[in-house]
Structure formats: structure tokens, C-alpha cells
Structure 1
């Protein structure tokens, strides 16, 4: 596995605490989340249950609740929580000096089958 090449996508301040912003990539729309403690995560913006926009969900701790049917997903693993089954893809993300960086390969690579 090759090392990650990081690409800057914006400022931490551009993402509200306990909120999200979206970026468009070769994989589709990705939601970039910021927790109340300034951790950052990137996951697919589409709930596998009914396609709800996770970026519009409620962030609590390191989880987000889908705004359509209240499914809860871990921002760390992408796995559905509780009795729900399913997952969303997660993407490498980091914050450094108030700037946000994501794995550059997702911006240009073809989506996985």
C-alpha cells in the first residue's frame, strides 16, 4: 500500500462544529464532518438505508444520525450503530494548523466496484 498523499480542501473553520460540508470527488459526494472537539471525518454523504443526505444529519460525539429515518453511523468506522445493519465508506482525513486535508487518491481515482 502506498503512503497517503494529502491534498488541502479548506479550513477547519469552514465546517461548523457538530456539522458538515460536502465535497465532490470521483467517488461522489463526500461529507466532511467536524465534531464538538474539532475531530474531522469524511464519509459518503448517502445513507445506505434510503439515500438520506448524512451531511444534513445531527452530529453527536463521533456519530451522525441520518435526517430521514434516524439511522446512526459511526464517523470513525462508517458502521451503522444499534440494531441497524449497513455501512458507509470512510475516507482518510486530517486537520493541521486549522487546514483540512483529505487523501488525494479519492479526488481522482475511479470509484470502487
Structure 2
């Protein structure tokens, strides 16, 4: 059964404009799609782009289309569909107008549960820093090594500080699974020779083919399946072909990732597949 929550007067969003509202800790974007200045249809989706959290009401658009202002991902506000990456669809919310009041179906938001327990964590060979969620009772001191669940899989991070429990937390890049142990470190170290060989093979192939890019670092994830190669230069289809060739020679999954772009949040990723060169 619908539980309609009032957002405000419908006239506040004139035809062809949009506005953000926060409902139970979730920011939604409401779009008034119409031809000309005649009343049209209201649509509501998550306001945060699933890639890196940019506000979609700041993006350009026409009709039911809106483009993320950060990396140009394109979405349909009527369905939530992402045209560029179908696995990254946005949540859409049912709306209605009653006696001039715009209302959203509260059933979509559910029980907010306890406040999020967040930590600021440094992770990845590039030293990205972002928020990660933990269980309410968890407490990790500064510089504690932890095992993380990110959009790329399981990897290692280092606690920088405890943010604490927040009613309206920022989007977490992933979750903290547990403390990273010496046994975990031994398992990771035992595979370092594989990482070194992948790095050398990739550099050799890039030089032989005269590709306009440079591999500057390499790391293995804790999933014991993935090696990430960090590169300089623009994205190119040749990197995807190279990843396929390397994958044929190794049991590990080879992934290319640009050095200047942090991974997407884990809640909106299918697991970090692909080479990274086709992401926006």
C-alpha cells in the first residue's frame, strides 16, 4: 500500500525544470517534463549518478533525457535507465499530484535502519580516500589494515579516521569486511610474482605496438583473481583488446584502470569487470 509523502507545491517546478528533495535521507531529483510551457509529467529518480555521485539536477537534458555533469553518463528520467551502462540504472520513484501538492510514494524508501557507521579509508595503489561503511558496533583505530568490499572486489585498505554514525551519511564507496590479518598478507604476498609478470608483459606489448599510453603501476586484489594495471593517457579500444590477450595467457583477470579516476561505489557496480577504458 502506498504511503504518500508530500514534497511541496507542484507549481514550484515549472515545465522543463527540475528540483532536488531529500526523503528519509535519500536525495531524489524530480523532473517536470513537458512540451513548451504547458503542464507535463513529473518523474523522480535518484539524484546521485551511480558512477561518482554527481548531482543529476545539475546536468543538461532534453525531454526525459538527462546527462551527468561529471562524466556525461546519459539517463532516462522516466525509467531510470542508463543508456551508456545498462547495469547502472537509477531507482525511480512514483509521484502524484493531489490538490496541487506533489507527493512521492514512501514505500520505496523503506525503513532507514540504524545510522551508518562510517570510516575514512585509504585504498588502492593510487591511494584513493573515501568513506566505507561498517557494522554499527565496529571500531577500527587509525592505521588499521582492513579488508574492503569495493566495486572491484575484495581489496586492502587502511583506516585514516572514524567518521562515526551519521543520520544522513555520504555515499559509501564500499564496506569494511573485517580487519586484515597476517595470514591475509601472506596469501597476498605469495602471488606477487604473478603481478610482476603481468606488469612486464603489458609494458612490453605496449612498447612493441607503439600505443600512446604508459602503465605506471600494478596491483593484485585480495580476491586472488584480479590484477589491476594503472595507465596514463586517453581511453582506447586497443586497451580492451590487450586485456583480452593478457586474460588468455593468465588465469587472473586483467583490468586496466585510469590513474585519475576512482572506482565507482560498490552499491552500483557489477563487480568491476571490463578494462576500464570504456567507462565515462
Q: TM-score, normalised by structure 1?
A: 0.79
Counterpart among 83, 87, 90 of residue 88 in structure 1: 90
Distance 2:34 2:98 in 1: 17
State the Cα distance separating 1:99 from its structure 2 match. 2.4
1:10 corresponds in structure 2 to 8
RMSD of equivalent CA atoms: 2.3
Provide the aligned length of Structure 1 versus Structure 2: 109
State the Cα distance separating 1:43 from its structure 2 match. 0.8
Task: Classify 1:26/1:91 alpha carbon distance in 2 versus 1 (closer, same or farther; 3 Å).
Answer: same
State the Cα distance separating 1:97 from its structure 2 match. 4.4
Counterpart mapping for 1:4-83 below 5 A: 4-37=2-35, 38-81=40-83, 83=84
With a CA cutoff of 8 Å and minimum separation of 6, indicate the structure with the bigger relative contact order. Answer: 1
Give the ranges of 4+ consecutive aligned residues of structure 1 lying more than 6 Å apart after TM superposition: none
Question: Unaligned 5+ residue runs, structure 1?
Answer: none
Distance 1:35 1:27 in 2: 25
Could you say which structure has the higher helix fraction? 2
The answer to whether the 8 Å contact 1:25/1:106 transfers is no
Distance 2:46 2:62 in 1: 17
Task: Classify 1:16/1:91 alpha carbon distance in 2 versus 1 (closer, same or farther; 3 Å).
Answer: same
State the Cα distance separating 1:41 from its structure 2 match. 1.0
Q: TM-score, normalised by structure 2?
A: 0.35
The answer to whether the 8 Å contact 1:20/1:56 transfers is no
Distance 2:94 2:32 in 1: 14
Task: Classify 1:100/1:59 alpha carbon distance in 2 versus 1 (closer, same or farther; 3 Å).
Answer: farther
